[in-house]
Amino acid sequence: MHQPPSAADLLRTVADTLADDVVPATSGPAQHQARVAANIASIVARELELGPEVRSREHDLLREIGGEEIGDEADLAAAVAAALRKGSADSDEEHERVRTLLTEIVRGDLSISKPGYDDWDGE
């Protein structure tokens, strides 16, 4: 039985073809557009593969930041921002905890949009 390629596999093939074959064969604006298209295809492939896990982890981390105040808010990011504006992370200890959790959220996003940038250590 033949297993068809996943959408992520197909997008990676498109990205590789653009980057390896089209970009070197073009110049100027067309070359730039081919690079952009290859990058977009790569991002969408990673989003298909990693997105559900990254979004689930982000949801958990936002709930951890917001604590009991969040409840069943539909827009967790807005609810967390409101809680932070009210001073929920004003102590040094809480500030560092929230910073660490937000950094983890950003690392998840970067693992999709710009791999390699997600391992920055802040130094």
Is the pTM of the predicted complex or chain greater than 0.85? Answer: no
> What are the structural domain ranges in the chain?
7-119
Q: Angle between the 28-66 and 76-85 helix axes, to the nearest 10 degrees?
A: 60
**pLDDT score recorded for residue 69:** 61
Q: What is the pLDDT along the chain (123 residues), one digit of tens a residue?
A: 889 999 999 999 999 999 999 999 999 999 999 999 999 999 999 999 999 999 999 988 988 887 766 666 667 888 888 888 888 788 888 889 888 999 999 999 999 999 998 887 766
